[in-house]
Amino acid sequence: MLRYFNMNGVFAIYKPSGISSAKFLDRVQATFTESKVFAHDLQQARAKILSDLNTDKKWRGGRAEKKASRTKVKIGHGGTLDPLASGVLVVGVGLGTKKLQFYLSECRKTYETKALLGISTTTGDSEGEIITHNEIDHITSEMVKDATKKFIGDIKQTPPIFSALKVNGKPLYEYARQGLPLPTSIKVRDVTVYDIKVFEDDLLSTDHEFKTLVSELDENGVPKEHGLENNPTLNDSPLYFSSQYLEKCEKEEVSSEVGKPKILPSDKDLPEKLPMIHFSSDVSSGTYIRSLISDIGRALESSAYMVELIRTKQSEWELGKNVFTIEDFEKDERIWGAVLKKVLDDGGKDIDLKSEFEKIASEVAKESPEQDSHQSKKRSIDEVEN
């Protein structure tokens, strides 16, 4: 039986849509804590806790032992993904948690996203409430491609109003909910969009799975957006283009100004399926993709909201190459334990997980017949002795 020591380091796992990063990480932690792969390290951690607490009188009477027994494998992540989003979740284990700050604030990330045009929401995605309905008939494929170019480079971003950020100790969304003006402007972020690639095969397509959002009614039966569409907290944030695009406009003596979003007339309805934009963006840490989508919609004199988001790459971790799935950890521990150990020790950059799993599985399969033969022989002896 293989024994594993010093299981410390960083790896990446695919987080599916529909679950928060915290809950998904709890699932990974539970799997590791219950496994034999981390048994040695966990035993040492629990022994240290007992040693530290036994000198303190208040932890006597079995309390120290109880706390130690509840200790789990130390784990953390290098950048959360919303429940709606899926993709690369960087995870630190043991001493590897000290390396997570780089992934939280310093590395590049790549996202593939889909958005629908014509509606803005409180959250910038399909989980929010509708703020406005906007015209879409004037939008062409060329306009979309031209609009994305305005955001490539160094830009300022206004975080979504419905985020966890606070102003004067109060969450931004509480100001929006109550229709209150912010006591101070939202602090913009300086981020970098290295590239945006528009997928042209389904650009402005209405042949997709996403249904158009339906207005929610308030207690009086009035669509909620009627009370939100003129809310300054939600609608007055500046639209920022990249400094590189602005310099280009100045050099070529062309205007960088765009008109305000065209509000859909009350006697006109949006189609059952809204046109979709689908693109990949390579960005710096701290970039809000929901804000980027919303701003692209505004640059088209319309609006947009996100319906799908996949983080395909974060620093050296890339889907389809060196990123685990939760199903990998449901396999034979002798296999996934050896693969994970190699990734933690080597950094994972040059490892192809599919090939590595096949290699280790083959090695384990060669060992198994000998183990099975030994176990069979032992049972036979036991039967004779009984």
What's the Cα-to-Cα distance from 11 to each of 75, 106, 328, 353, rounded to whole Å? Answer: 11, 17, 13, 11
User: Cα–Cα distances in Å, from 236 out to 149, 228, 298?
Assistant: 23, 12, 12
CA 297 – CA 302 distance, rounded (Å): 5
Torsion, Cα 27 28 32 33, to 10 degrees, reads -40
Catalytic residue among 26, 41, 52, 82: 82
Geometric angle at alpha carbon 253, from 248 and 254, rounded to 5°: 80
Residue pair 109/314 in contact (Cβ under 8 Å)? The answer is yes
Nearest to 110 by CA among 322, 282, 285, 323: 282
CA distance 129 to 124: 9
User: Annotated catalytic, 82?
Assistant: yes
Q: Which class for 38: exposed (0-12), middle (13-18), buried (19 or more C-beta within 10 A)?
A: buried
Summary count for the chain: helices (H), strands (E): 11, 13
Pairing of strands 170-171, 166-167: antiparallel
Q: Are 291 and 82 in contact (CB under 8 A)?
A: no
Which of the residues are catalytic? 82
